[in-house]
């Protein structure tokens, strides 16, 4: 499947065990036309299920996935009104080099700020991220006095060299936004990076911020909390005025999705460069 310019997979994460992906539309849930382009009608969806994971492959990507997911069980009916999108690895492919550039910048920051060797910087950065799923929070927990704005500005520089517009993604987001509006739902962005840096990325991707006018949530808002902490998701849900059970999260991290499912959220796993690692996390 072609998605964001590369071959990728999309998985619908479900909190229930039975799989009924062939169930047809029989109510006024998400309308097919809200998500499905008529030009794609001759492209049959391919999907299979295994336990709580539904895998679909189609040229319609988000639209088909959300449409089928909403129909596959009565527990995924009208209650799902709000879409929550991660940024990195979801709105653009992680394999485009930008995230590796961020990791390189994080290592450079440690060598310059704390006089670490490159080898030590690699080790510390890795330990920090694995500890809290957010490098800044992890570094602070390890005893490094890192200032939020200074760190995020430094490590996120160079975004405009890697990120560019993908019209298909923009069109898909616009359709999803319209569908959410029809259901009186909301569409927001939730990322572990700073809101300022997230907005710069959206600009480079030429994604209209108005698509996420209901909220762009990042490390400044979440403070000491970060994905996958349940408090982070609860803070966002409370701020936008919805319960977790009303939300579907689009993520490239199973660690984050496990928290979502535990809170009653739906989840869509967008597979990219970290697929093998993420499947190992799912199995644990």
Handedness of CA 229, 83, 53, 193 (dihedral sign): negative
Locate the DSSP E strands across the chain: 2-3, 6-7, 9-13, 46-50, 53-57, 82-85, 187-190, 216-217, 247-251, 266-271
Q: At a CB cut-off of 8 Å and minimum separation 6, what does 158 contact?
A: 98, 101, 105
pLDDT reported for residue 136: 94
Q: Identify the residue with better confidence: 132 or 17.
A: 132
Give Cα separations from 169 to 98, 102, 126, 224, 241 (angstroms): 18, 23, 31, 32, 27
Point out the least confidently predicted range of 12-16, 132-136, 232-236: 12-16
Q: What is the per-residue pLDDT for 274? A: 56
Q: What is the pLDDT of residues 185-204, one digit of tens each?
A: 899 999 999 999 999 999 99
Do 80 and 200 lie in a common domain?
A: yes
Name which of 25, 64, 66 is nearest 45 in CA terms: 64
DSSP per position, 92-144: B-GGGSHHHHHHHHHHHHHHHHH---HHHHHHHHHHHHHHHSSHHHHHHHTT-
Half-sphere exposure of 70 (CA within 13 A, CB side): 28
Give 102-152 pLDDT, tens digit per residue: 999 999 999 999 999 999 999 999 999 988 888 999 999 999 999 999 999
pLDDT value, residue 1: 30
Are 103 and 125 in contact, with CB atoms under 8 Å apart? yes
**8 A C-beta contact, residue 244 and residue 263:** yes
Q: Are residues 235 and 100 in the same domain?
A: no
Quick one: 150 and 12 in the same domain? no
Q: Do 182 and 43 have their domain in common?
A: yes
For residues 234-249, average pLDDT: 94
The tens digit of pLDDT for each residue in 39-86 reads 333 333 333 333 333 333 333 334 434 443 333 333 445 678 899 999
Among candidate residues 35, 65, 79, 69, the one with its CA nearest the CA of residue 177: 35
Region 203-226: mean pLDDT is 96
| Shared domain check, 183 and 116 | no
Expressed as residue numbers, the domain containing 150 is 95-162
The CATH number of residue 139's host domain is: 1.10.150
- Residue 56 sits in the same domain as residue 131: no
Whether residue 161 is predicted with pLDDT greater than 50 in this model: the reply is: yes
Task: For helices 62-71 and 167-182, give the axis angle rounded to 10 degrees.
Answer: 30
Looking at the fold, whether 202 and 232 belong to one and the same domain comes out as yes
The answer on 156 and 56 residing in a single domain is no
Among 146, 162, 178, which residue terminates a domain? Answer: 162
Buried b (16+ CB within 10 A) or exposed e, 218-230: bbebbeebbbbbe
What's the confidence (pLDDT) of residue 188?
Answer: 98
Q: How many domains is the chain built from?
A: 2
DSSP letter string, 161-188: HH----HHHHHHHHHHHHHHHHTT--EE
Tokens encoding 119: 């080898």
What are the tens digits of pLDDT across the range 271-283? 665 555 555 555 5
Q: Which residue has the higher pLDDT, 35 or 282?
A: 282
pTM above 0.85, yes or no: no
Residue whose pair of structure tokens reads 């991660």 in the numeric block: 86
Residue-averaged pLDDT of the chain: 75
Q: Rounded to whole angstroms, how far apart are CA atoms 96 and 88?
A: 11
Do 25 and 107 lie in one domain? The reply is no
Spacing of C-alpha 90 from chain mean position: 5
- Mean pLDDT, rounded, for 249-257: 86
Instruction: Give the pLDDT score at 169.
Output: 85
């Amino acid at each position: 499947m072609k998605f964001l310019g590369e071959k990728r997979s999309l998985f619908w994460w479900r909190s229930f065990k039975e799989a009924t992906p062939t169930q047809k539309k029989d109510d006024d849930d998400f309308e097919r036309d809200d998500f499905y382009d008529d030009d794609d009608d001759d492209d049959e969806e391919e999907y299979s299920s295994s336990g709580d994971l539904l895998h679909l492959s189609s040229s319609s990507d988000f639209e088909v996935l959300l449409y089928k997911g909403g129909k596959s069980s009565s527990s995924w009916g009208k209650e799902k009104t709000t879409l929550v999108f991660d940024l990195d690895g979801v709105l653009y492919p992680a394999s485009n080099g930008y995230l590796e550039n961020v990791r390189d910048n994080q290592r450079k920051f440690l060598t310059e700020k704390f006089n670490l060797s490159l080898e030590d910087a690699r080790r510390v950065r890795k330990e920090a991220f694995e500890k809290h799923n957010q490098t800044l929070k992890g570094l602070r927990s390890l005893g490094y006095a890192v200032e939020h704005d200074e760190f995020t500005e430094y490590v996120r520089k160079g975004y405009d060299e890697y990120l560019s517009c993908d019209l298909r993604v923009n069109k898909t987001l616009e359709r999803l936004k319209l569908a959410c509006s029809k259901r009186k739902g909301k569409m927001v962005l939730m990322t572990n990076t700073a809101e300022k840096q997230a907005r710069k990325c959206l600009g480079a991707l030429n994604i209209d911020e108005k698509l996420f006018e209901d909220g762009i949530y990042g490390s400044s808002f979440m403070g000491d909390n970060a994905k996958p902490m349940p408090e982070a998701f609860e803070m966002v849900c409370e701020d936008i005025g919805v319960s977790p059970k009303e939300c579907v999260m689009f993520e490239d991290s199973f660690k984050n999705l496990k928290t979502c499912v535990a809170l009653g959220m739906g989840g869509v796993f967008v597979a990219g460069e970290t697929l093998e690692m993420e499947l190992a996390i799912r199995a644990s």
